[in-house]
Copies of this chain bind each other. A is one copy, B any other.
Protein backbone atom coordinates (compact mmCIF):
# COMPACT_ATOMS: atom_id res chain seq x y z
CA UNK A 1 0.00 0.00 0.00
CA UNK A 2 1.18 3.51 -0.86
CA UNK A 3 1.11 5.66 2.26
CA UNK A 4 1.72 9.42 2.11
CA UNK A 5 2.64 11.17 5.33
CA UNK A 6 2.25 14.94 5.47
CA UNK A 7 4.56 16.23 8.20
CA UNK A 8 7.68 14.24 9.08
CA UNK A 9 8.18 15.28 12.69
CA UNK A 10 7.96 13.26 15.89
CA UNK A 11 4.46 11.90 15.18
CA UNK A 12 4.56 11.49 11.40
CA UNK A 13 8.09 10.09 11.53
CA UNK A 14 7.24 7.59 14.26
CA UNK A 15 4.19 6.38 12.31
CA UNK A 16 6.42 5.98 9.24
CA UNK A 17 8.91 3.85 11.17
CA UNK A 18 6.28 1.42 12.43
CA UNK A 19 4.27 1.19 9.21
CA UNK A 20 7.42 0.31 7.33
CA UNK A 21 8.63 -2.19 9.90
CA UNK A 22 5.28 -4.02 9.94
CA UNK A 23 4.99 -3.94 6.12
CA UNK A 24 1.66 -2.13 6.46
CA UNK A 25 3.16 0.36 3.99
CA UNK A 26 5.02 -0.94 0.95
CA UNK A 27 5.90 2.54 -0.29
CA UNK A 28 6.20 5.61 1.93
CA UNK A 29 5.90 9.09 0.46
CA UNK A 30 6.78 12.10 2.59
CA UNK A 31 5.68 15.72 2.41
CA UNK A 32 7.23 18.45 4.54
CA UNK A 33 7.13 22.22 4.12
CA UNK A 34 10.45 22.39 5.97
CA UNK A 35 13.08 21.43 3.39
CA UNK A 36 15.71 20.54 5.96
CA UNK A 37 13.27 18.17 7.65
CA UNK A 38 12.28 16.62 4.33
CA UNK A 39 15.92 16.02 3.45
CA UNK A 40 16.69 14.59 6.87
CA UNK A 41 13.66 12.27 6.75
CA UNK A 42 14.88 10.88 3.43
CA UNK A 43 18.43 10.48 4.72
CA UNK A 44 17.39 8.53 7.79
CA UNK A 45 14.99 6.52 5.58
CA UNK A 46 11.78 7.45 7.30
CA UNK A 47 10.29 7.65 3.78
CA UNK A 48 11.17 6.37 0.30
CA UNK A 49 10.64 9.65 -1.49
CA UNK A 50 9.70 13.26 -0.93
CA UNK A 51 7.00 14.74 -3.17
CA UNK A 52 4.98 17.95 -3.31
CA UNK A 53 1.60 17.70 -1.57
CA UNK A 54 -0.49 17.40 -4.75
CA UNK A 55 1.49 14.49 -6.15
CA UNK A 56 1.85 12.74 -2.80
CA UNK A 57 -1.90 13.00 -2.31
CA UNK A 58 -2.96 11.74 -5.73
CA UNK A 59 -0.61 8.71 -5.60
CA UNK A 60 -1.65 7.49 -2.13
CA UNK A 61 -3.97 4.77 -0.89
CA UNK A 62 -3.77 6.35 2.54
CA UNK A 63 -2.87 9.95 3.42
CA UNK A 64 -1.83 10.65 7.02
CA UNK A 65 -1.67 14.31 8.06
CA UNK A 66 0.61 14.95 11.03
CA UNK A 67 1.21 18.71 11.22
CA UNK A 68 0.12 21.45 13.66
CA UNK A 69 -3.67 21.64 13.99
CA UNK A 70 -4.01 25.08 12.40
CA UNK A 71 -2.18 23.79 9.32
CA UNK A 72 -4.35 20.65 9.24
CA UNK A 73 -7.42 22.90 8.96
CA UNK A 74 -5.83 24.68 6.02
CA UNK A 75 -4.76 21.69 3.95
CA UNK A 76 -7.34 19.01 4.75
CA UNK A 77 -9.94 20.38 2.28
CA UNK A 78 -7.26 20.55 -0.48
CA UNK A 79 -6.16 17.00 0.26
CA UNK A 80 -9.74 15.74 -0.01
CA UNK A 81 -10.10 17.66 -3.29
CA UNK A 82 -7.04 15.95 -4.75
CA UNK A 83 -7.31 12.30 -3.70
CA UNK A 84 -8.54 9.41 -5.85
CA UNK A 85 -12.12 8.31 -5.06
CA UNK A 86 -11.01 5.27 -3.02
CA UNK A 87 -8.25 6.94 -0.99
CA UNK A 88 -8.51 7.18 2.78
CA UNK A 89 -7.39 10.30 4.67
CA UNK A 90 -6.74 10.70 8.37
CA UNK A 91 -5.16 13.34 10.56
CA UNK A 92 -3.39 12.91 13.90
CA UNK A 93 -4.01 16.32 15.46
CA UNK A 94 -4.66 16.77 19.17
CA UNK A 95 -7.88 18.79 18.69
CA UNK A 96 -10.75 17.66 16.50
CA UNK A 97 -13.86 19.89 16.52
CA UNK A 98 -12.51 22.80 14.49
CA UNK A 99 -10.90 20.35 12.06
CA UNK A 100 -14.05 18.30 11.41
CA UNK A 101 -15.98 21.56 11.03
CA UNK A 102 -13.97 22.66 7.98
CA UNK A 103 -14.80 19.48 6.04
CA UNK A 104 -18.33 18.97 7.40
CA UNK A 105 -19.88 19.52 3.97
CA UNK A 106 -17.01 18.34 1.78
CA UNK A 107 -18.19 15.88 -0.91
CA UNK A 108 -15.45 13.46 0.17
CA UNK A 109 -16.13 13.77 3.93
CA UNK A 110 -16.66 9.98 4.15
CA UNK A 111 -13.07 9.36 2.94
CA UNK A 112 -11.81 11.14 6.07
CA UNK A 113 -11.32 9.76 9.61
CA UNK A 114 -10.76 12.29 12.41
CA UNK A 115 -8.24 10.68 14.76
CA UNK A 116 -5.95 11.45 17.69
CA UNK A 117 -3.33 8.93 18.78
CA UNK A 118 -2.52 9.77 22.43
CA UNK A 119 1.25 9.53 22.46
CA UNK A 120 4.27 11.74 22.07
CA UNK A 121 7.42 13.03 23.70
CA UNK A 122 8.69 16.53 24.40
CA UNK A 123 11.01 16.32 21.37
CA UNK A 124 10.32 17.28 17.77
CA UNK A 125 11.51 16.88 14.19
CA UNK A 126 12.34 13.77 12.08
CA UNK A 127 15.25 12.78 14.33
CA UNK A 128 12.84 12.56 17.30
CA UNK A 129 10.85 9.79 15.56
CA UNK A 130 10.77 6.57 17.57
CA UNK A 131 9.84 3.00 16.81
CA UNK A 132 7.06 1.75 19.05
CA UNK A 133 5.98 5.23 20.21
CA UNK A 134 2.29 4.24 20.02
CA UNK A 135 2.53 0.71 21.43
CA UNK A 136 -0.06 0.13 24.15
CA UNK A 137 -1.42 3.67 23.93
CA UNK A 138 -4.91 4.85 22.94
CA UNK A 139 -6.05 6.25 19.62
CA UNK A 140 -9.27 8.26 19.63
CA UNK A 141 -11.48 8.11 16.55
CA UNK A 142 -14.09 10.86 16.39
CA UNK A 143 -17.54 11.02 14.80
CA UNK A 144 -17.06 7.59 13.21
CA UNK A 145 -20.57 7.61 11.75
CA UNK A 146 -19.51 10.35 9.36
CA UNK A 147 -16.82 8.15 7.76
CA UNK A 148 -17.28 5.36 5.21
CA UNK A 149 -16.89 1.82 6.66
CA UNK A 150 -13.96 0.81 4.42
CA UNK A 151 -12.07 3.99 5.33
CA UNK A 152 -12.81 3.45 9.01
CA UNK A 153 -11.64 -0.16 8.77
CA UNK A 154 -8.34 0.85 7.18
CA UNK A 155 -7.55 3.46 9.83
CA UNK A 156 -8.54 1.06 12.63
CA UNK A 157 -6.21 -1.52 11.12
CA UNK A 158 -3.43 1.07 10.97
CA UNK A 159 -3.80 1.93 14.69
CA UNK A 160 -3.92 -1.76 15.59
CA UNK A 161 -0.74 -2.26 13.55
CA UNK A 162 0.84 0.49 15.68
CA UNK A 163 -0.19 -1.53 18.77
CA UNK A 164 -2.89 0.90 19.88
CA UNK A 165 -6.25 0.47 21.58
CA UNK A 166 -9.04 2.48 20.01
CA UNK A 167 -11.62 4.68 21.75
CA UNK A 168 -14.60 6.15 19.89
CA UNK A 169 -16.28 9.42 20.82
CA UNK A 170 -17.58 12.69 19.41
CA UNK A 171 -15.12 15.40 18.39
CA UNK A 172 -16.54 17.59 21.14
CA UNK A 173 -16.06 14.97 23.87
CA UNK A 174 -12.51 14.26 22.65
CA UNK A 175 -11.64 17.97 22.86
CA UNK A 176 -13.19 18.25 26.31
CA UNK A 177 -11.41 15.19 27.75
CA UNK A 178 -8.12 15.91 26.04
CA UNK A 179 -8.14 19.44 27.50
CA UNK A 180 -7.85 17.92 30.99
CA UNK A 181 -5.62 14.96 30.24
CA UNK A 182 -3.15 16.45 27.78
CA UNK A 183 -3.53 20.17 27.13
CA UNK A 184 -3.84 21.27 30.78
CA UNK A 185 -0.68 19.34 31.83
CA UNK A 186 1.21 21.23 29.13
CA UNK A 187 0.00 24.60 30.44
CA UNK A 188 0.86 23.45 33.99
CA UNK A 189 4.40 22.63 32.91
CA UNK A 190 4.95 25.79 30.83
CA UNK A 191 3.83 27.96 33.78
CA UNK A 192 5.93 25.97 36.27
CA UNK A 193 9.00 26.44 34.10
CA UNK A 194 8.36 30.18 33.88
CA UNK A 195 7.71 30.48 37.63
CA UNK A 196 10.91 28.62 38.51
CA UNK A 197 12.97 30.63 36.02
CA UNK A 198 11.57 33.86 37.48
CA UNK A 199 13.10 33.19 40.89
CA UNK A 200 16.10 35.18 42.01
CA UNK A 201 19.28 33.09 42.21
CA UNK A 202 17.68 30.74 39.79
CA UNK A 203 21.03 29.12 38.97
CA UNK A 204 20.95 27.57 42.42
CA UNK A 205 17.57 25.98 42.02
CA UNK A 206 18.41 24.51 38.64
CA UNK A 207 21.63 23.05 39.92
CA UNK A 208 19.46 21.37 42.53
CA UNK A 209 16.76 20.20 40.13
CA UNK A 210 15.91 16.60 40.89
CA UNK A 211 13.69 13.91 39.42
CA UNK A 212 10.48 15.36 40.86
CA UNK A 213 10.97 18.76 39.26
CA UNK A 214 12.18 17.28 36.00
CA UNK A 215 9.19 15.01 35.49
CA UNK A 216 6.66 17.70 36.44
CA UNK A 217 8.21 20.26 34.11
CA UNK A 218 9.11 17.88 31.25
CA UNK A 219 6.27 18.94 28.96
CA UNK A 220 7.48 22.56 29.06
CA UNK A 221 10.12 21.48 26.57
CA UNK A 222 7.40 20.84 23.98
CA UNK A 223 7.52 22.86 20.80
CA UNK A 224 5.38 26.07 20.74
CA UNK A 225 4.64 25.70 17.01
CA UNK A 226 2.73 22.50 17.75
CA UNK A 227 1.15 23.49 21.07
CA UNK A 228 0.21 27.12 20.40
CA UNK A 229 -2.35 26.16 17.74
CA UNK A 230 -3.75 23.45 20.04
CA UNK A 231 -4.29 25.98 22.84
CA UNK A 232 -6.03 28.32 20.40
CA UNK A 233 -8.17 25.59 18.81
CA UNK A 234 -9.35 24.17 22.11
CA UNK A 235 -9.49 27.50 23.96
CA UNK A 236 -12.95 26.93 25.45
CA UNK A 237 -12.19 23.67 27.20
CA UNK A 238 -8.60 24.56 28.10
CA UNK A 239 -9.80 27.72 29.86
CA UNK A 240 -12.44 25.65 31.66
CA UNK A 241 -9.82 23.13 32.81
CA UNK A 242 -7.42 25.92 33.80
CA UNK A 243 -10.09 27.65 35.86
CA UNK A 244 -10.79 24.36 37.63
CA UNK A 245 -7.09 23.81 38.21
CA UNK A 246 -6.45 27.33 39.54
CA UNK A 247 -9.44 26.92 41.90
CA UNK A 248 -7.91 23.68 43.24
CA UNK A 249 -4.47 25.30 43.58
CA UNK A 250 -5.90 28.21 45.58
CA UNK A 251 -7.90 25.85 47.77
CA UNK A 252 -4.72 23.87 48.44
CA UNK A 253 -2.76 27.03 49.15
CA UNK A 254 -5.36 28.27 51.63
CA UNK A 255 -5.43 24.90 53.35
CA UNK A 256 -1.63 25.05 53.83
CA UNK A 257 -2.02 28.52 55.33
CA UNK A 258 -5.06 28.04 57.51
CA UNK A 259 -6.48 24.54 57.71
CA UNK A 260 -4.10 21.65 58.18
CA UNK A 261 -6.90 19.10 58.40
CA UNK A 262 -8.30 20.23 55.06
CA UNK A 263 -4.78 20.12 53.59
CA UNK A 264 -4.48 16.45 54.52
CA UNK A 265 -7.92 15.72 53.06
CA UNK A 266 -6.94 17.32 49.75
CA UNK A 267 -3.71 15.32 49.67
CA UNK A 268 -5.49 12.05 50.51
CA UNK A 269 -7.96 12.74 47.73
CA UNK A 270 -5.16 13.48 45.26
CA UNK A 271 -3.31 10.25 46.04
CA UNK A 272 -6.36 8.34 44.76
CA UNK A 273 -4.97 9.16 41.34
CA UNK A 274 -2.69 6.16 41.96
CA UNK A 275 -5.54 3.65 41.82
CA UNK A 276 -7.46 5.56 39.17
CA UNK A 277 -4.47 5.60 36.84
CA UNK A 278 -3.38 2.14 37.87
CA UNK A 279 -6.70 0.71 36.76
CA UNK A 280 -6.62 2.53 33.48
CA UNK A 281 -3.02 1.91 32.59
CA UNK A 282 -3.19 1.23 28.86
CA UNK A 283 -0.38 -1.29 29.13
CA UNK A 284 -2.56 -3.35 31.46
CA UNK A 285 -5.58 -3.42 29.21
CA UNK A 286 -3.70 -3.88 25.98
CA UNK A 287 -5.37 -6.38 23.68
CA UNK A 288 -8.29 -6.74 26.01
CA UNK A 289 -10.29 -4.23 24.05
CA UNK A 290 -11.79 -2.88 27.24
CA UNK A 291 -11.61 0.65 25.92
CA UNK A 292 -13.09 -0.28 22.60
CA UNK A 293 -16.05 -1.85 24.33
CA UNK A 294 -16.51 1.11 26.62
CA UNK A 295 -16.92 3.62 23.87
CA UNK A 296 -18.23 1.78 20.86
CA UNK A 297 -21.62 3.20 20.05
* Chain A interface residues toward B at CB < 8 A: 118-121, 137-138, 140, 167, 169, 173, 177-178, 180-182, 184-199, 201-224, 227-228, 231-232, 235, 238-239, 241-253, 256-257, 260, 263-264, 266-274, 276-277, 279-280, 282, 291, 294-295
Contacts and interface: CB of A to CB of B under 8 A. Distances in A.
Contact of A208 (B181, B206, B250, B263): B181
Contact of A210 (B182, B196, B272, B274): B182
A270 B209 contact: no
Given A118-B210, A231-B263, A269-B197, A185 B192 contact: yes
15 contacts: A138-B207, A187-B249, A190-B267, A192-B248, A193-B273, A195-B244, A197-B273, A199-B241, A207-B294, A212-B219, A217-B277, A221-B273, A232-B263, A238-B256, A246-B253
Smallest CB-CB A-B distances: 8 pairs: A224-B267, A185-B216, A193-B273, A193-B270, A190-B270, A118-B210, A195-B245, A191-B248
Contacts of A246: 246, 249-250, 253
A81 to B, nearest CB: 29
B194 A181 contact: no
Contact of A206 (B207, B251, B280): B280
A4 B285 CA distance: 44
A contacts with B: majority SS: helix
Contacts of A242: 249, 253, 256
A275 to B, nearest CB: 10
A133 to B, nearest CB: 10
Contacts of A295: 204
A242 B196 CA distance: 10
A164 to B, nearest CB: 11
A93 to B, nearest CB: 15
A259 to B, nearest CB: 11
Contacts of A221: 271, 273-274
Contact of A241 (B195, B197, B270, B294): B195
Contact of A195 (B184, B191, B238): B184
A279 B202 CA distance: 13
